[in-house]
Structure 1
Amino acid sequence: MHPSSVLLKSERFAAGRTVLTSAEERGTAVRAVVFENFQTFPELKEVDRPTPGPGEVLLKVAGSGACHSDVSIYREFTAGAPGAQNPPFVLGHEVSGWVEELGQGVDGVQVGDAYLVYGPIGCGRCAACSRGQDTYCENVASMPYLATGIGRDGGMAEYVRVPVRNLVPLGDADPVAAAPLSDAGLTPYHAIKLALPNLAGGGKFALVIGLGGLGQVAVQILTALTGATVIATDTKPEAMERAAANGAVTVPGGEGQVEAIRAITGGRGVDAAFDFVGATPTIRTAQASMARQGRLTVVGIAGGTAEWSFFANPYEATITNTYWGTIEDLHEVVAMYRAGQITPQVQRYSLDQALDAYRDLEAGKVAGRAVVVPHTA
């Protein structure tokens, strides 16, 4: 945190970013994790308390998930690179909170109620946005940001302002544990929902590769929504133990991995595979495990590539990818959470420990999802 003697120019951008001010210029200051510069570790700083604009609400943040996408934002992107969002802005795109204040023209929500935030923000006018699929906004090139916490100030803070349209009610469910669902729940749910035709009927098999935060939730979703045998694989024994506890048959990574997966299916291969890593070796493993007319969805963004040839690819097997999900999907994810069908594994950090959450995430020390809880007792 900057000492109050350091003066920083005050400027507020229409793009949804709040930049630091001097102590003399600030109104009410709040703390936030700020992405300041490309390829630079974020900082815990004081920023102006956000003010909701027309059609927005101010949330008192209950929980904010730390995601590997955040790490990509501050570690990997450079100015002008595809998808790069110019700093500074507050991180945090997995957000839940309680309504603290209503902006002009907002009704239908009550101060004090708990909500999950749908992160993506599109133009609101194109066909994709009209069906709640802001992730595929047709006017994304003209938008000043991609999402809450990705170009626009996010929820890794005490307070965040968000469009009221992007609120999904949580009722009396725990909002802290719910926070990761806005990405770590929504992303696998959308991928699985699109693959459900491949898993309809008896004797079907699904494969989950990578049992981090998203993969663990994927196992739970597949178990709840399908009658398929869920095969889960990872290199970490503790991750496989958790997946097994949620109904999966586990196969360790390494030598003989594909043979073991195919043996479980009687040699036929899996009907739907979900790669939550996205590295070249994991994509290759998924391809080698596929049945005819199967579907492989690469969800992880490790930058891997796929090799394809006519006779090596099972006939009519599909390789595709997906990105986040729709706001309608998130309503369905919350319904599953409230029904007890999804239970995210959460490792809680205070706001003072927020930078430690990112350090632990980078070091592979986080089991499930790291969630920063700004308002701890």
Structure 2
Amino acid sequence: MRAVVFDDFKTFPVLKDIEKPTPGPGEVLLKVAGAGACHSDVAIFEDFEANNPAGLKPGFVLGHENSGWVEEVGPGVSGITKGEAYLIYGPIGCQHCRACSRGQDTYCENAATNPYLGVGLGRNGGMAEYVTATARNLVPLGDADPVAAAPLSDAGLTPYHAIKLALPKLNGGGKFALVIGLGGLGLVGVQILKALTGATIIATDAKPEAMAEAEKLGAVTVPSGSDQVAKIREITGGRGVDAAFDFVGISATITTAMQSMALQGRCTIVGIAGQPYDWSFFGAPYEVELTSTYWGTIEDLYDVVELYKAGQVVPQYTTFSMDKALEAYQLLVDGKISGRAVVTPNA
């Protein structure tokens, strides 16, 4: 079968033929419907040689945002029927620690000794015609379109988890939420905020077309620039925002978020650019929480799928055939993808 393989660091991935996988005990083989191309994939092949906290090694198929139809079930799997559509929860922990027992594989207590982080992160992912996943990590889609749903396993799950944790800051009237970065995650984040809160949503990005999309989704937009923070504060009546979600994570965007905060707000860094922020006691409003999140729980993903089925979250994406998969990654590297790029190996 054809697959997009991460062969080496500082090397663009390659499209090659590899052996079709076979599901092992407790696993399911899926015919891939959609596989989302994510900036995390770019970080793996461009940056992880020097900064690789997960210890990932080259030689695996990319793709951690996946959906597909059941093709075959492995030994010990029941209750799953061939042809059914599922979304794959990507993280894979040890399955027996406290974090994994509550479906939070992202914070597995044995991550340092696990063989991989998840599907498409050390273990062969879904940027291929077929992929295997543990039956426990499958979230049913029913009659929902699995191609459109594919990005939800990261671009939906990640903002949902971050927003869910910040909901106490957004309960009540007169609340403001700030979304920085309107790519695949940010635009979904705007929709989740709209679905779960009554907050006024302020969205900002350097791309006018991205802000136009956010406006269609109900956000008030502020362009990047030297007066960006002043304009955000003006919208809030000078008070600042109660919750901010930075989907970029560079020093400049973290600074913008923190300078836009209200007293006792929560600033969540979701983007994994990994750049530093110079915090000081008098440089931020009192009792502002500066935190980060990583992906989400399998329970969260069930919630995201329900929002998708209800039409409250509609991923914005462009499809690419398997022949165009590397082109999708190049457009991602060049910053020319709006929303999410979804590869459809079996279209």
Same fold (TM over 0.5): yes
1:26-37 correspondence runs (5 A): 30-37=1-8
Give, in angstroms, the shift of residue 323 of structure 1: 0.2
The answer for the alignment partner of 2:76 in structure 1 is 105
The answer for the alignment partner of 1:164 in structure 2 is 135
The answer for the alignment partner of 1:135 in structure 2 is 106
Give, in angstroms, the shift of residue 118 of structure 1: 0.2
TM-score (ref. length: structure 1): 0.91
Name which of 220, 223, 226 aligns with 2:191: 220
What do residues 155-174 of structure 1 show as CA deviations (whole Å, max 9, x unaligned)? 00000000000000001011
Q: Supply the distance in 2 between the matched residues of 1:310 and 1:110 (Cα, whole angstroms).
A: 57
Moved over 4 A (4+): none
Q: Supply the distance in 1 between the matched residues of 2:15 and 2:101 (Cα, whole angstroms).
A: 36
Distance change in 2, residues 1:47/1:259 (3 Å)? same
Name which of 39, 43, 68 aligns with 1:68: 39
Q: 3-state SS of the aligned residue for 1:83?
A: coil
Name which of 200, 208, 212 aligns with 2:179: 208
The answer for the alignment partner of 1:269 in structure 2 is 240
Give, in angstroms, the shift of residue 312 of structure 1: 2.2
Sequence identity, in percent? Answer: 70
Q: Is the 8 A contact 1:215 1:276 kept in 2?
A: yes
The answer for the alignment partner of 2:167 in structure 1 is 196
Give, in angstroms, the shift of residue 39 of structure 1: 1.2
Equivalent residues, number: 347
Q: Supply the distance in 2 between the matched residues of 1:46 and 1:299 (Cα, whole angstroms).
A: 35
What do residues 197-245 of structure 1 show as CA deviations (whole Å, max 9, x unaligned)? 0000000000000000000000000011000000000111110010000
Give yes or no for the alignment of 1:88 onto 2:59: yes
The answer for the alignment partner of 1:176 in structure 2 is 147
> Which amino acid in structure 2 is aligned with residue 164 of structure 1?
A
1:137-156 correspondence runs (5 A): 137-156=108-127
Where does structure 2 lack aligned partners over 5 or more consecutive residues?
Answer: none
> Which amino acid in structure 2 is aligned with residue 348 of structure 1?
T
> Which amino acid in structure 1 is aligned with residue 24 of structure 2?
G
Give yes or no for the alignment of 1:238 onto 2:238: no
Greater Rg by CA: 1
What do residues 241-281 of structure 1 show as CA deviations (whole Å, max 9, x unaligned)? 10000000000011210000000000000000000000001
1:111-126 correspondence runs (5 A): 111-126=82-97
Q: Is the 8 A contact 1:78 1:84 kept in 2?
A: no
Q: Supply the distance in 2 between the matched residues of 1:277 and 1:154 (Cα, whole angstroms).
A: 24
Q: 3-state SS of the aligned residue for 1:181?
A: helix
The answer for the alignment partner of 2:220 in structure 1 is 249
Give yes or no for the alignment of 1:280 onto 2:257: no
Q: Give the structure, 1 or 2, with the largest relative contact order (CA under 8 Å, sep 6 or more).
A: 2
